[in-house]
Amino acid sequence: MAQNTRTVPAGTPTNVTQKHNKGGIGESILRPDGTLKVTGEFAYSSDMWHEDMLWGQTLRSTVAHAEIVSIDISEALAMPGVYSVLTYDDLPAEMKNYGLEIQDTPVLAHGRVRHHGEPVALVAADHPETARRAAAKIKIDYRELPLVTDEASALAPDAPLIHEGRDDHHIGHVPHPNIVHRQPIIRGNVEEARKRADVIVEGEYTFGMQDQAFLGPESGLAVPSEDGGVELYVATQWLHSDLQQIAPVLGLPPEKVRMTLSGVGGAFGGREDISMQIHACLLALATNKPVKIVYNRFESFFGHVHRHPAKLYYEHGATKDGKLTHMKCKIVLDGGAYASASPAVVGNASSLSVGPYVLEDVDIEAIALYTNNPPCGAMRGFGAVQACFAYEAQMDKLAAKLGMDPVEFRQLNAMEMGTVMPTGQVVDAPAPVAELLRRVKARPLPPERQWESAGENADVRALPGGLSNTTHGEGVVRGVGYAVGIKNVGFSEGFDDYSTARVRLEVINGEPVAMVHTAMAEVGQGGITVHTQIARTELGVTQVTIHPADTQVGSAGSTSASRQTYMTGGAVKNTCEAVREALLEIGRRKNGSYHPAWATAELLLEGGKVVTDGGEVLADIADILENEAIDLELEFRHAATEPFDLVTGQGNGHVQYTFAAHRAVVEVDTELGLVKVVELATAQDVGKALNMLSVVGQIQGGTTQGLGVAIMEEIIVDPKTAKVRNPSFTDYLIPTILDTPTIPVDVLELADPKAPYGLRGMGEAPTLSSTPAVIAAIRQATGLEINKTPIRPEALTGTL
């Protein structure tokens, strides 16, 4: 059973206008979609249906790098039930590429394919099986080309260029065209600082390719409209970004591509990029019929980006009394065949590569490569996850070499409010790193060898191997490990990060009702619940309706970067405040001459009424509005960030920082190489918990994803062919309920005075430190130096 505690230190500002509306900010109200989802009644995008719709199918490349010599679609077109077959030559507009930051991804492969599973042709048919069979009849003649699969083959003098003739804005700042982006960060003087070090440790770390493994595969429905445009109902993370990429390749103005969010079955970054959106629209416009595309699980592994695998090379120094002297590192991220979010991932990896520690002398370089491996992009904690795995291993190495407790060593070097980051940015909000570590360490440890004390009632699930009955405890040893991480919140490096909210307040059946309309993608994080709570708190109403997310309202940005509660929540709060002021102005006009309290500024809205700060009721909201409605749409922005200098890496690049710490307790069967994670205790500062139930759920979910990459999750790419070897949940393993440990959560609320309600974006931080904590515990249990994720049984038994 998971537990949580809540701590708000005395005197901590919460930046909240306190109102007492049922279901408002600070309450743990249930999600309106929760019951529907667990009972199977919720409508996901894959459930959509149109009476006369066709089914779309994508034909994907069977090789990773090859010239397309010819494509023969004649047999596919001749099949009964097939309405359309499209290739690159059938694309309607001059713009035939798309991309999040760099438009380097072709809608359909042209000239050559660059990775296994790249889309080459599309089919629309009256039945999904007909579409699949027709796609299989398309004949493609490939002439295979040399592969680029790693740093050595990508940067060799004679390396094949993945993208010839690059003209994007990054090319002038990289030493080789196969580098997507490079970000150095130089501060202080590492060579001089090294002379002060009494101990120096080095490490080379390998981080595997992780899949987002969301439950609902990519799906959507495109419906042609009478004006020549198209309506797209789709599961995505960012409606307006999709729109900006879709419209140009369809040859349509943005207003003719109308997008509505459909039920999303998880995302974690994997839906930031386009998958089937353009393909469904192309087929719908070509056939003038609705077209539905639903990937199966196999295709889903090829249909979205993954977490960047990485090689990380670190050097740290410290004095004999435990103070860090310097850090030097190089981080090499494999971005795969197309850019996706690689530039942003590089920026995060480099700027957060030091971790939550005070270091004045650093020499950092992070790069992302173009290769023929699967494209990689955003995944929960992107860039910061890979770096945290390496720097936390380094902290353990330093502590061991100095003979210090690993937690005390971290606390000695922990950053705090006022610390200067390696980028020169000053941390201007609470940074309780040492306190988070203290809390996880102080928590009582779970009992050891529980299966022995339970006798006949032993729960075999407590053993490594669990229900497989692989052991009865012989060869099983315990380990305890710690880790802490730092994650940025929001879009960074000068990106114009904003969100929009429309709020309408009106009277329906005699009761004031608020309607909140944003383009925020609800992907399971609970944003619609928070928006309801904000509206109740700010407008003093009980009834709140959430309008379906679509592109008929301004952009809400992506549901990523731990930003939505801060940004779109901030937009809802901002707009509700404006609606409240408009309501009070109407009230003053109607009632001001009758009661002097209307002249004061501190009127509150509670329970559908206007009241003074002393509790005196002045009027009903419904009476003030009568037949009127207040309808406003406003944007919300945070303080501006700036790009990192491309030579020194200096710049105020991030909006906010968030922190989490973990203590992992593991049992390891050293004979079989099996691991049972018994507990993953977590402490995290969330600024202000708007809904504690959701906060704890997010922390536990992120923690479990970090556990997965520590001991089981990895997409295996054959180095000889660059083909994915395990595109299914049979071979790509994710944690189940039997693998998930107890996750006690300790929540701190140290308000960020710049943020709405003092909140701190918190969805990604627990994914960082859970991975290195688990691996540190396994190291402690076995005495092995483990520098790769995930840990496989053969690495623990010496049979690797």
DSSP string over 104-133: -EESS-BSEE-STT-EEEEEEESSHHHHHH
Which residue carries 């690159």 as its tokens? 88
**Amino acid residing at 296:** N
pLDDT of residue 347: 98
Each domain of the chain, given as residue ranges in start order, spans 34-42+498-637, 45-145+217-264+271-303, 432-492+656-797
> Which tokens is 149 given?
């699969």
Residues with Cβ within 8 Å of residue 476, at least 6 apart in sequence: 449, 463, 464, 667, 668, 669, 670
If we measure between CA atoms, which residue out of 680, 208, 702 comes closest to residue 482? 680
Closest of 741, 599, 737 to residue 680, by C-alpha = 741
Q: DSSP letters along 205-242, please?
A: EEE-------SS-SEEEEEE-TTS-EEEEE--S-HHHH
Radius of gyration, alpha carbons of the chain = 27
Q: Any idea which fold 34-42+498-637 has?
A: Aldehyde Oxidoreductase; domain 4 (3.30.365)
CATH assignment of 432-492+656-797, given 3.40.980.10, 3.30.365.10, 3.30.310.80, 1.10.3720.10?
Answer: 3.30.365.10
Q: What does the pLDDT read at residue 189?
A: 98
C-alpha 752/C-alpha 489 separation (Å) is 12
> Cα–Cα distance between 37 and 381 in angstroms, integer?
25
How far is 561 from 546, CA to CA, in rounded Å?
23
pLDDT of residue 217: 96
Tell me, yes or no, if the two domains 45-145+217-264+271-303 and 432-492+656-797 fold the same way. Answer: no
Contacts of 368 (CB under 8 A, 6+ apart): 179, 180, 181, 308, 333, 334, 335, 342, 343, 345, 346
pLDDT attached to residue 594? 64
What tokens does 543 get?
């009834």
**Residues sharing a CB contact under 8 Å with residue 296, sequence separation 6 or more, in sequence order:** 217
Q: CATH topology for 45-145+217-264+271-303?
A: Aldehyde Oxidoreductase; domain 3 (3.90.1170)
Q: Please report the DSSP string for 369-393 in residue order.
A: E--SSPPEE--TTTTHHHHHHHHHH
Please name the residue that has the structure tokens 């301004």: 554
Q: Across the 800 residues of the chain, what is the mean pLDDT of every consecutive 10-residue run?
A: 41 37 90 92 96 97 98 98 98 96 96 98 98 98 98 96 84 90 98 98 98 97 97 98 98 98 97 98 98 98 98 98 98 98 98 98 98 98 97 98 98 98 97 98 92 69 82 90 98 96 96 97 96 97 97 98 97 98 92 77 90 90 94 96 97 98 96 95 98 97 98 97 97 94 97 97 97 98 96 85
- What pLDDT was estimated at residue 454? 60
Residue 788 DSSP code: B
